[in-house]
Amino acid sequence: MPQLITLKVDRIDDMGGGVRRLSLCDPDRWRLPAVRPGAHIEVHIPDVGTRVYSLCGDPAVENQWQIAVKRSETSRGGSVWLHEQLTEGAIVYSSFPRTGFRIVESATRHIMIAGGIGITPFLSMAHVLERLGLDWQLHVLHRGPMDIVQDYKGWIDHGRLRTYDTSTGRRPNLSDILAQPDASVAAYCCGPQSMIDAFQEQTMAWPQDHAQIEYFLPPKLAPAANARPYTVELKKSGVTAEVGSGESLLKALLRIGKKVDSSCEGGICGVCELAWLQGDPVHRDLILSPDRRMTHLLSCVSGCASERLVIDL
């Protein structure tokens, strides 16, 4: 069981447009663990599971974290619970912060593109980029109210933060926003799939790691041609289980009573990560680096190309 942090809901702000910002602190107001810009936490929602939210406050503030949650009626219950059940003073449990976006240290110019509530990871990054004196811009495409940006008027006035209400105005071309490929420029995108597709197309020729993506929703994954039914062996207990064709490792582990945390179930959040020891995993996630894949897999989407897979569980 991963270590959890107990947090008190210190303050709730209605940010308009169905967005609620929660300010979280230690119940005794101790300092919280250090946060990297672009990091997220997994919040444990009773009877629902784990949901991932980007930390949107200034990472330099050591005794408070902030998350902004847009209520989604089509969600699987996380945002509705955070909107309807949480009051100021309530206790919630979260993971330690995990790194989502990483600021590309070799770049001197940073272009961030967000779709609606996809702004959240960039708010924490912008605080840091601003302090470092780097050249940055945050472009936010949204439909309807986007009141959360009103807290950043200085950035708007200086042309750092630009918003585009596509319900009343023209949708900007990403090619106009993104510069030509250049080793001194890094670009980041967080938003709906159509925005991510356009961003990927525009940055295809960019230097490796200089175009980074964070997904809102898991995209549809094509079946892995080389995946097959297999036996998973749990190294620590010696237990084995059969993983059927089309079944995820996560589902097979839950079926035999093993507790594995999960959230997106689509290979984009990293909550269900496990270490593997032997076998030939077929990775279908969208976030692990090639190095990380040498030792870890995401159990909600990974398949296996060998008869047996040994995991460190």
What gap in Å lies between CA 187 and CA 202, rounded to an integer? 10
Question: Which residues have C-beta within 8 Å of that of residue 289, sequence separation ≥ 6?
Answer: none
What gap in Å lies between CA 122 and CA 30, rounded to an integer? 26
39 is a contact residue toward ligand FES (CB under 6 A): no
Residue 226's φ and ψ, nearest 5 degrees, are: -95, 5
Q: Kindly tell me the number of DSSP H helices and DSSP E strands found in the chain.
A: 7, 19
Of the residues 7, 272, 311, 313, which one makes contact with ligand FES according to CB under 6 A: 272
282 is a contact residue toward ligand FES (CB under 6 A): no
Of the residues 178, 195, 271, 309, which one makes contact with ligand FES according to CB under 6 A: 271
Q: For residue 213, list its beta bridge partners.
A: 189
42 is a contact residue toward ligand FES (CB under 6 A): no
54 is a contact residue toward ligand FES (CB under 6 A): no
* Shortest CB 237 distance to ligand FES, Å: 22
* Shortest CB 270 distance to ligand FES, Å: 5
In the numeric block, the tokens 């296996």 are attached to 304
What gap in Å lies between CA 289 and CA 300, rounded to an integer? 17
281 is a contact residue toward ligand FES (CB under 6 A): no
Site for ligand FES in 228-267 (CB under 6 A): 262-265, 267
Q: Which is nearer to ligand FES, 190 or 268 (CB)?
A: 268
Of the residues 43, 211, 249, 269, which one makes contact with ligand FES according to CB under 6 A: 269
* Shortest CB 269 distance to ligand FES, Å: 3
* Shortest CB 264 distance to ligand FES, Å: 4
* Shortest CB 313 distance to ligand FES, Å: 15
Other Cβ atoms within 10 Å of 137 Cβ, number: 18
Report how far apart, in Å, the C-alpha atoms of 114 and of each of 14, 163, 219, 280 are: 20, 9, 17, 36
Of the residues 59, 97, 116, 270, which one makes contact with ligand FES according to CB under 6 A: 270
* Shortest CB 285 distance to ligand FES, Å: 6
Q: What distance lies between CA 275 and its chain's CA centroid?
A: 20
**Exposed/middle/buried for residue 41 (C-beta within 10 Å: 0-12, 13-18, 19+):** buried
Q: Which helix (H) or strand (E) holds 307?
A: none
Q: Which amino acid is at 88?
A: E
Number of residues that bind ligand FES (CB under 6 A): 13
Site for ligand FES in 199-218 (CB under 6 A): none
* Shortest CB 40 distance to ligand FES, Å: 11
Contacts to ligand FES by CB under 6 A: 262-265, 267-272, 285, 298, 300
